[in-house]
Amino acid sequence: DAKTTQPNSMESNEEEPVHLPCNHSTISGTDYIHWYRQLPSQGPEYVIHGLTSNVNNRMASLAIAEDRKSSTLILHRATLRDAAVYYCILMYSGGGADGLTFGKGTHLIIQP
């Protein structure tokens, strides 16, 4: 499986934008980029995913580099509730029941 690299932790202030980077230099043309997050004492939850184009949803935006070797999850206005571990995961487009392969993720700390 292609691997991702994320910073161990990041800190941001409440109500400011947050940019969470992810490197995936060995990504294949058929891999989707998924982001999940895990709030304290909860199960992981889906945030956003994309293949080549930038994506927006109510939770966040995903900016994908033109060569697809990196991506950035953007939280436009962080709240205290966004403090969580954020996982950048590549998923093979062939699908199947492989599930998700989680790395260490980025621990996002939000300061009030």
The single residue among 22, 31, 64, 84 that binds another protein, judged by CB under 8 A, is 31
Q: Which is nearer to another protein, 21 or 44 (CB)?
A: 44
- Give me the long-range contacts of 42-47 (CB less than 8 A, separation at least 24): 44/87, 44/100, 44/102, 47/73, 47/86
Residue 43 engages another protein in binding (rule: CB under 8 A): yes
Residue 95 engages another protein in binding (rule: CB under 8 A): yes
- Select from 3-11, 44-52, 66-74, 76-84 the region that touches another protein (CB under 8 A): 44-52
Q: Which is nearer to another protein, 17 or 46 (CB)?
A: 46
DSSP 60-89: -EEEE-TTSSEEEEEESS--GGG-EEEEEE
Report the C-alpha gap between 103 and 54 in whole angstroms. 23
The single residue among 29, 42, 66, 112 that binds another protein, judged by CB under 8 A, is 42
DSSP, res 5:
B
Residue 83 engages another protein in binding (rule: CB under 8 A): no
Applying CB under 8 A, which residues contact another protein?
30-32, 34, 36, 38, 41-46, 49, 51, 85, 87, 91-102, 104
